[in-house]
Amino acid sequence: MDISILHADSNILSQRGLHSILMKGGGISGIETIHDGQLLGTKISEYNPDLLIINYQEAGFFSIENIKFVKDKFPNQKILVISSDQNQNRILIQI
């Protein structure tokens, strides 16, 4: 079964790189990308992805608040969080 992915990332280079890797692996029906946290809820509603990949950046465009929003509004949404934040407790405690 192919899956659909919504990739939320403000870094265009990592968006394109991950997109390329995932599409080469197969099993993906499509990948939508967004770079603005304000569009997160709208895109999830429109696209209804099987998986949300979100690049959490402490001082970036996608924050803990965005992740909390998704968990509250879309409780069944599968989420993979990618982060360069080395403090895992900061992320895990918040979500």
pLDDT score of 68: 87
- Residue-by-residue DSSP string for 10-68: S-HHHHHHHHHHHHHHS-EEEEEEE--GGGHHHHHHHH--SEEEEEE-TTSSS-HHHHH
What's the whole-model pTM score? 0.85
Q: What is the pLDDT of residues 33-60, one digit of tens each?
A: 998 888 999 999 999 999 999 988 755 6
Low-confidence ranges of the chain (pLDDT < 50): none
pLDDT score of 8: 93
